[in-house]
Amino acid sequence: MLTIYGAYRSRATRTYWLAYELGLDFKSVPVLQARRLDNPLAADAPVNTLSPDFLKVNPMGQIPAIDDDGFVVFESLAINLHLAKKHGGPLAPATLEEDTLATMWSFFAVTSIETEALRISSAAASGTLDTDDGKAVIAAASRLLERPFKVLDAHLGKAGFIAADRFTVADINVAEIVRYAQPATALFDAFPNITAWLDAAQARPAFRKMWEVRAAEAA
């Protein structure tokens, strides 16, 4: 059986979303980020990323991680690529070329978009978007995202999807990284192909199911 270790308010969202898309039967083991706790090593602390038992699963102390019938994988993008290819269907790469493109665009998103997108997400989460400091963060991050967004927008304008002629695991991997930048509305206004693609991805029933569970999870 598949076991997913993580919290819905983390990078595990992309793995839970994929699991719902695939219709997988899985066990979810809640693991909090240690930074959310005053004393993550206290005897009565909930399972978190510094808990000894979890470190046996992922010695890096990061979520998500999975145990797939005894095969342990961490790094969320690798987890998703593994699960999609294992279970097949339209979400999986159908050819070597699609497999390579799924890997390439997943790496592109995490190396070229995620850092600055997370700065935007953090500003939104802290409630500082409308402050001078928050506006400065959004402006600086948006400037650095213009180039990768231009590349992604042009690609989506031609292909419609990330790595194939249909929605695949690559769309989930990239969408869940691009999502972090959504509070920067002016940035998205400048890239209509990204906006339309992300809106369609987030309208999928599996995403909505994941998001409902996420919304019910303690912040």
CA-nearest of 28, 17, 16, 38 to 67 is: 28
Asked if residue 200 has pLDDT above 80, the reply is: yes
Give the integer Cα–Cα distance in Å for 188 and 99.
Answer: 28
Residue 154: HSE in the Cβ half-sphere, 13 Å Cα cutoff? 5
- CATH code assigned at 40: 3.40.30.10
Q: What is the pLDDT of residue 65?
A: 98
Q: Are 193 and 153 in contact (CB under 8 A)?
A: yes
Are 68 and 82 spatial neighbours (Cβ–Cβ below 8 Å)?
yes
- In a shared domain, residues 55 and 101: no
**Which of 61, 88, 115 represents a domain boundary (last residue)?**
88
Q: Which domain holds residue 104?
A: 96-204
The stretch 103-130 carries a mean pLDDT of 95
**Listed residues 22, 54, 88: the one ending a domain:** 88
pLDDT digits (tens, 9 = 90+) for 171-199: 999 999 999 999 999 999 999 999 999 99
152 in Cβ contact with 194 (< 8 Å): yes
Query: In this predicted model, what pLDDT tens digit does every residue of 78-96 receive, in sequence order?
Result: 999 999 999 999 999 999 9
Arithmetic mean of pLDDT over the chain: 96
Query: Mean of the pLDDT values across residues 50-65?
Result: 96
Mean pLDDT to the nearest integer, 112-136: 94
pTM of the model: 0.96
* H-run or E-run covering 74: strand 71-74
Q: What is the mean pLDDT of residues 51-80?
A: 97
Cβ atoms of 34 and 52 closer than 8 Å: no
Residue 217 lies in a domain: no
Whether pLDDT at 129 is above 90 = no
pLDDT digits (tens, 9 = 90+) for 154-168: 999 999 999 999 999
Pairwise CA distance, residues 50 & 31, whole Å: 9
Instruction: Compute the C-alpha angle 165/168/174, nearest 5°.
Output: 110
User: Does 211 map to a domain?
Assistant: no
Contact between 23 and 37 (Cβ < 8 Å): no
219 is a domain residue = no
Are 184 and 120 a contacting pair, CB within 8 Å? yes
Q: Evaluate whether residue 198 is within a structural domain.
A: yes
Per DSSP, the three-state class of 100 is helix
Q: Does residue 25 sit in the same domain as residue 103?
A: no
Q: Are residues 104 and 139 in the same domain?
A: yes
| 212 belongs to a structural domain | no
219 has pLDDT over 90: no
